[in-house]
C-alpha cells in the first residue's frame, strides 16, 4: 500500500484576516465573522454544490498554509493552559501537526451562483486567514457529529475568558462602521499569546484592510492606532 498521499486545493477562503494573528482560535467563537469559499477553476461547477443549500452548517477541511514546519516536535503549548504547559500534539488542535490540516465547523449563509466569481459559499464563524487553501467540504450532521456529553479535557478551562474592549471614538471613526462590532468581538477573544502580559506592549494584526494596534492591561484592551495600507490614518 502506497502511503504517500497527495491532495489538491479545491478552493480558497476569503476573509478579513491577512495573517494568522488575531484569528479566533476556534471556529464560531465570533459568529459575526464572515468569509467566502471561492472555488478553483477546475471545481467551479454548480453540480458539485447541488443540495448543499439544504444544510445549515459545514465541515471545512483546510490546509494550515501559514503554520511553521512541524519538525520533530511532539508537544505544543495550548493557549487554554496559559501557554506555559505542554501537551502532546495529538491532544490539541494546534496547527503545528505532522500533516498541517485544519478542521472547522462553520455556518453556511448562502450559496452564490449569480456572480462572476461564483459559484461560491458564504460562511460565518470563519477562523481562517485570507487565501487559506480548502481541501474538502462536507455537510455537518447533528445526529452523528454532535456529542453533548463529550469531555473537553484541558480545553474546557478558560472558556469564559474575554476582554473588555475600548475603541476610542477617534479610532473607531477611522474604521469601517459596518465592521466595527466584528472587530470588537475579535479583540474580546484576546488574540495575544497566552504567556504575554506586559501592559506596555503594543500588539497588532491586519483586519479588513487595516492594521489594528492595541494594548492590554489586565482584562481591559484598548485600541491605540488604526492604519490602512501601511500608512497611519
The model carries a pTM of 0.89
Could you tell me the three cell numbers for 76?
Answer: 505544543
d(CA 183, CA 173): 13
d(CA 111, CA 11): 14
pLDDT the model gives residue 193: 79
Mean per-residue pLDDT for 123-134? 95
pLDDT the model gives residue 232: 57
Extended beta strands in 140-201, E state: 164-166
Mean per-residue pLDDT for 191-196? 80
Cβ burial of 62 (10 Å; 0-12, 13-18, 19+) is: buried
Q: Is the pLDDT of residue 229 over 70?
A: no
| Domains, in order of start, for the chain | 11-145 (2.40.30.70), 161-232 (3.30.2310.20)
Q: How many helices (H) and strands (E) does the chain have?
A: 3, 13
pLDDT the model gives residue 158: 63
Summarised one tens digit per residue, pLDDT across range 26-65 is: 898 899 999 999 999 999 999 999 999 999 999 999 999 8
> Bigger pLDDT: 98 or 143?
143
Contacts of 227 by beta carbon, 8 Å cutoff, 6+ apart: 210, 211, 213, 233
Amino acid at each position: 500500500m502506497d502511503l504517500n498521499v497527495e491532495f489538491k486545493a479545491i478552493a480558497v477562503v476569503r476573509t478579513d484576516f491577512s495573517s494568522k494573528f488575531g484569528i479566533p482560535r476556534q471556529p464560531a467563537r465570533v459568529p459575526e465573522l464572515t468569509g467566502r469559499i471561492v472555488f478553483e477553476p477546475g471545481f467551479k461547477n454548480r453540480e458539485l454544490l447541488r443540495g448543499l443549500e439544504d444544510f445549515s452548517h459545514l465541515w471545512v477541511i483546510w490546509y494550515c498554509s501559514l503554520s511553521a514546519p512541524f519538525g520533530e516536535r511532539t508537544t505544543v503549548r495550548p493557549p487554554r493552559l496559559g501557554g506555559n504547559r505542554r501537551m502532546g500534539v495529538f491532544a490539541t488542535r494546534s496547527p503545528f501537526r505532522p500533516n498541517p490540516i485544519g478542521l472547522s465547523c462553520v455556518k453556511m449563509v448562502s450559496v452564490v451562483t449569480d456572480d462572476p466569481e461564483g459559484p461560491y459559499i458564504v460562511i460565518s464563524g470563519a477562523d481562517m486567514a485570507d487565501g487559506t487553501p480548502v481541501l474538502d467540504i462536507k455537510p455537518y450532521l447533528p445526529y452523528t457529529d454532535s456529542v453533548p456529553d463529550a469531555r473537553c479535557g484541558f480545553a474546557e478551562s478558560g472558556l469564559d475568558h474575554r476582554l473588555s474592549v475600548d475603541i476610542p471614538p477617534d479610532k473607531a471613526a477611522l474604521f469601517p462602521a459596518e465592521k466595527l462590532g466584528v472587530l470588537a468581538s475579535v479583540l474580546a477573544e484576546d488574540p495575544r499569546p497566552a504567556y504575554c502580559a506586559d501592559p506596555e506592549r503594543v500588539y497588532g494584526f491586519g483586519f479588513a484592510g487595516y492594521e489594528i494596534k492595541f494594548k492590554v492591561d489586565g482584562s481591559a484592551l484598548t485600541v491605540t492606532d488604526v492604519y490602512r495600507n501601511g500608512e497611519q490614518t
